[in-house]
Amino acid sequence: MSTPIILEEGLLLRPGYFSREQQELLLEDVRSVVGIAPLFVPVMPKTGKSLSVRMTNCGDLGWVTDREGGYRYQDFHPVTGEPWPKIPQRLLELWRDVSEYDAPPQACLVNFYEPGAKMGLHQDRDEKNFKAPVVSVSLGDACLFRVGGLDRRDSTRSFKLESGDVLVLGGKSRLRYHGVDRIYPGTSTLLRHSGRVNLTMRRVTD
Ligand code: MD3
Ligand code: FE
């Protein structure tokens, strides 16, 4: 199952990597993570504007943002103050299968998109390690994903990401601009309501 498709140099799509049954098990994993580390509303540095996604993390480190502290990784939940839960085994196995990186992921960001939520074009550069790839899993409703180049002004291409799809962003693509333009509500029956969950695993240090 799942023929890798090279979308750009270093940007690999594995459509339907996870079967429906595996997606359901992954979603149970996500629900137990959210039970320990509740979703929070991330807020942009300086402006204090809320992002439209809600998020949480698992792993040794989690990505957080607020008005005062800005974008960063920290080892505790910003609301509960508790350490993040462990990364579920199934996701560690995915990383081992597709990352071609020796060490396990340190951070797994969980983004939850309601219909209408989006993520503006940005680069992922809050990590110290750009040699390790980013591995991402989509669950629930499909989305329109956009990827550009290393300069914000570079041209972009758009792709649909569906439930069970895996993206591997490595090499030159690790620092490409990317974002999520829209969610297509009602395109998946995986979640109880409409919406999309994205899981993104990363190395933060070397
Ligand atoms: C392409 N998340 O959390 S995941 C993020 O669907 C983020 O929630 C989006 O962008 C989401 O930072 C996209 C796929 C992804 C992640 C990192 C990338 C694509 C990428 C880095 C470089 C190029
Ligand atoms: Fe990103």
Q: Mean per-residue pLDDT for 57-72? A: 97
Question: Measured between alpha carbons, how far is 135 from 165 in angstroms, rounded to an integer?
Answer: 11
Asked if residue 5 lies in contact with residue 15, where contact means CB atoms within 8 angstroms, the answer is yes
The domains found in the chain, sorted by start residue, are 5-202 (2.60.120.590)
pLDDT above 80: residue 23: yes
Question: Over the stretch 84-102, which tens digit does the pLDDT of each residue have?
Answer: 999 999 999 999 999 999 9
| Ligand 1 nearest-atom number relative to CA 122 | 10
Question: Measured between alpha carbons, how far is 25 from 150 in angstroms, rounded to an integer?
Answer: 36
Structure confidence at residue 206 (pLDDT): 82
| Ligand 1 nearest-atom number relative to CA 55 | 3
Q: How far is CA 22 from the centre of its chain?
A: 18
Question: Measured between alpha carbons, how far is 191 from 43 in angstroms, rounded to an integer?
Answer: 25
- Measure 178 CA to ligand 1 centroid, in angstroms: 6
Structure confidence at residue 121 (pLDDT): 98
Q: Which residue has the tokens 């550009």?
A: 148
| 198 or 1, greater pLDDT | 198
Question: Over the stretch 125-147, which tens digit does the pLDDT of each residue have?
Answer: 999 999 999 999 999 999 999 99
Give 93's DSSP letter: H
Q: Mean per-residue pLDDT for 185-200? A: 98
Question: Measured between alpha carbons, how far is 127 from 203 in angstroms, rounded to an integer?
Answer: 7
Token code pair at residue 89: 């085994």
| Ligand 1 nearest-atom number relative to CA 111 | 8
Which residue from 13, 61, 200 has its CB within 8 A of the most atoms of ligand 1, so it is best to mutate? 200
Residue 1's pLDDT band (boundaries 50, 70, 90)? low
- Measure 110 CA to ligand 1 centroid, in angstroms: 11
Token code pair at residue 35: 């039970």
pLDDT above 80: residue 41: yes
Residues with CB under 6 A from ligand 1: 109, 111, 119, 124, 134, 136, 147, 167, 169, 173-174, 176, 178, 180, 198, 200
User: Hey, which residues does 202 pair with through a beta bridge?
Assistant: 107
Residue 2's pLDDT band (boundaries 50, 70, 90)? confident
Residues near 102 by beta carbon (within 8 Å), at least 6 away in sequence: none
Rg (the chain; Cα; Å)? 16
